[in-house]
Amino acid sequence: MTDPALALTDVTFAWPGQDGFSLSCPNFRMAVGESVLLLGASGSGKSTLLSLVCGIATATSGRVSIGATDIGTLGAGARDRFRAEQIGVIFQQFNLLPYARVLDNILLPLRFAPKRKARIGAPAQEAARLCAALGLPDGVLTKQAGRLSVGQQQRVAVARALIGAPPLIVADEPTSALDAATQDSFLRLLFEQAEQARSSLLMVSHDERLGQRFDRVIRLEEIVTTRRAAA
Amino acid sequence: MILRLAMQSLMARALTVGMTVLAIALSVALFLGVEKIRTSARASFADTISGTDLIVGARSGSVQLLLYSVFRIGNATNNVTWESYRDIAARPEVDWIVPISLGDSHRQFRVMGTTPAFFEHYKFRGGRSLEISAGHGLDDLYDTVIGADVAATLGYSVGDPIVVLHGLASFTAHDDQPFRVAGIVAKTGTPVDRTVIVSLEAIEAIHVDWQSGAKSGQTTPVEVIRSMELEPTAITAALVGVQSRLQIFGLQRWINEYPEEPLLAVLPGVALQELWQIVGVAETALIGVSAMVVVTALVGMMAMIFSSLNERRREMAIWRAMGARPSTILGLLVIEAMLMAAVGSVLGLALLYLGLAIGQPWVDAAFGIWLPIDPPTVRELWVLAIVIGAAALASLLPAIRAYRLSLADGMMVRI
């Protein structure tokens, strides 16, 4: 049996020293190539769960595995490197370094991920291909990222997450800054490219309407228990 | 790529970064400027006299003797009698001796009585001789040779009349015996430029009717004075050259132990050294102050980086999400600080040269200090390197804070 793309087993976590917020996730698994939408209101532990998945935070107990690797066993530097190699991240908004060119933004994760970089022959051409596939206008690569519209910026963020085809894409409410019409085309393009790259897609949102496209839709409460100590 | 992104990040904040860079540039220009003036002033002073082995005057301090005899700063407390001068001149070690008589003035410039030998033996800037650019030397009793600055300031040319004033800030004129500009000395960058040179006899001549520093009632006609034997009774100081440098100390001791009169002989180089020790305190203070200005500019930069951290937390989170280690973020901020300091330093250097190009003639005219426009010295380059290094150090504090913030924030900024 192949390793799942992502597996959380008996994970517990508490933010150090912070108002006693703690989270536990007994079991959550994603198969390779699967797309999962996690539905949860704000404050339900979404951010904490994503931090655990990305290896920014480490579980107090239990295992967080991506592919065959238990990221809890990696040192801090190795986890940063692992994140760069294995995960493409898309935020809600303000994804890009506004002062840098679009091309530099897209290539930024490769700077920290030599293997991912080695998978692509010509990074600049791959970036151009992704931009074209995502419906971005010609010549966008040399523009300053901060000058693009919000919708364009989010697409550039997708290109950045997908370049070098990392096994896992993590998206934190990537559509919430977009209007309904743009949301739809954005998701369509995201799915197209994620499938082409054979990346698993984990998206977190509070918007149930996004659900149709995903293989699975899970409410966060079903897999995660949070506790906030009385202040 | 990180370096390019750091530059783009700085350019995106052009206004605040520009102000910080400007502050660093101004402080660097100030520091280098002070250094330049300091070294140039030293060089100008040291260049003022060369080839003279001993300066002889009435006993006082060696610095004082040097100042009044060579730099025309301050006054002699006492004179050297003509007999003593003759005794020294008669010593076998003495190769040449030039008497100097000070005390009178023309406008703001001092009048110096000496012999034609002065033009032969006075050397400056490593052995260069005085050059008379217009007219001729002291031929007639009432001839004067004036320095370049005197001629330029007062608009004199050869043939113009000059009236010498008694004392330095006096209204008593030696107007009964007017002089004539016989020659003008080419610019030297030494106090000679600001001196009116007359013959030793002329100094005697204008004081014929004077007793105990006041003008007596009678006026001796010029024709009578010309026929008089004008041997001075006293001089202010004398410049001495010896036959062999080995004899300098022997002659110095002989003069210092001269029984008839308390005299002092100093080596110009040694007296200059003593002068530096006095001036050195002020120099150190100046350097200290300008160094503090550089420190202030760097502290300003530190404050700027600190205040930018909050608005850049989002940016830090992006870097972290892309796989940058917290240490990369620390490095990014340090690189930005070093870039600002480097640009500031280069701009400061440019400001220095601009200032030199504009200020050079003015400083030369006003203070007689020649500021050479040379390529940067190794020492100056070191100063720039130290400024950049100090900027890196100063940025460590905000950078470490950014490091902590990015560890705590991770990729999610809760703001």
pLDDT digit string (tens) for B3-18? 888 888 888 888 999 9
Domain end residue (candidates: B239, B266, B293):
B266
Beta strands in B22-142 (DSSP E): 54-58, 80-81, 94-106, 109-114, 123-124, 128-129, 132-135
Does B103 have pLDDT greater than 60?
yes
Q: Over the stretch B136-192, which tens digit does the pLDDT of each residue have?
A: 888 888 889 999 888 888 888 888 888 887 766 556 666 677 888 999 998 887 888
Does B411 have pLDDT greater than 80?
no
Domain end residue (candidates: B205, B240, B266):
B266
Q: Are residues B106 and B227 in the same domain?
A: yes
State both tokens at A230. 């009385």
Q: Are residues B258 and B125 in the same domain?
A: yes
Q: Are residues B225 and B331 in the same domain?
A: no
What is the percentage of chain B residues whose pLDDT exceeds 90?
A: 37
Q: A121 or A160: whose pLDDT is higher?
A: A160
Q: In chain A, which residue's Cα lies nearest the Cα of B406? A: A56
| Residues B5, B368: Cα–Cα separation, whole Å | 49
| Residues B56, B393: Cα–Cα separation, whole Å | 54
What is the percentage of chain A residues whose pLDDT exceeds 90?
A: 6
DSSP code per residue over A153-219: HHHHHHHHHHTT--SEEEEESTTTTS-HHHHHHHHHHHHHHHHHTT-EEEEEES-GGGGGGSSEEEE
Q: Which of B318, B327, B332 to mutate to test the interface with A (most CBs of A within 10 A)?
A: B318
Of A85, A89, A99, the CB nearest to B321: A89
> Is residue B77 within 8 Å of B291, Cβ to Cβ?
no
Phi, psi at residue A184, to the nearest 5°? -65, -50
Look at strands B161-162 and A168-172 and give their pairing: unpaired
| Residues B276, B382: Cα–Cα separation, whole Å | 24
Record: contact B2-A111, CB cut-off 8 A = yes
pTM, whole model, 2 decimals? 0.75
Does B253 have pLDDT greater than 50?
yes
Does A69 have pLDDT greater than 50?
yes
Q: Are residues B34 and B66 in the same domain?
A: no
| Alpha-carbon gap: A44 to the closest alpha carbon of chain B (Å) | 14
Q: Are residues B198 and B299 in the same domain?
A: no
Does A33 have pLDDT greater than 60?
yes
What mean pLDDT comes out for the span A198-210? 87
Does B413 have pLDDT greater than 60?
no
Q: Over the stretch A131-172, which tens digit does the pLDDT of each residue have?
A: 888 888 888 888 888 888 888 898 899 899 989 889 999 988
Look at strands A87-90 and A69-70 and give their pairing: unpaired
CA angle B29/B31/B33 to nearest 5° reads: 65
The predicted pLDDT at position B360 comes to 85
DSSP summary character for residue A101: B
State both tokens at B280. 């050195």
The predicted pLDDT at position B318 comes to 86
Q: Are residues B173 and B286 in the same domain?
A: no
Domain end residue (candidates: B237, B266, B295):
B266
User: Which chain B residues are closer than 8 Å to A89 by Cβ?
Assistant: 321-322, 411
| Residues B6, B377: Cα–Cα separation, whole Å | 30
State both tokens at A103. 């091309």
Does A19 have pLDDT greater than 70?
no
Q: Over the stretch B204-220, which tens digit does the pLDDT of each residue have?
A: 888 777 766 666 666 77
What mean pLDDT comes out for the span B38-46? 83
Domain boundaries, chain A: 6-228
Q: Are residues B214 and B299 in the same domain?
A: no
CA A226 from chain centre, in angstroms, equals: 22
Of B12, B323, B414, the CB nearest to A113: B323
What mean pLDDT comes out for the span A79-99? 87
Reported confidence tier of residue B415, pLDDT bands at 50, 70, 90: very low
Phi, psi at residue A43, to the nearest 5°? 85, 5
Average pLDDT of chain B is 86
Number of domains composing chain B:
2
The hierarchical CATH code for the domain A6-228 is: 3.40.50.300
| Other beta carbons less than 10 A from residue B186's beta carbon | 13
Reported confidence tier of residue A231, pLDDT bands at 50, 70, 90: very low
Record: contact A91-B411, CB cut-off 8 A = yes
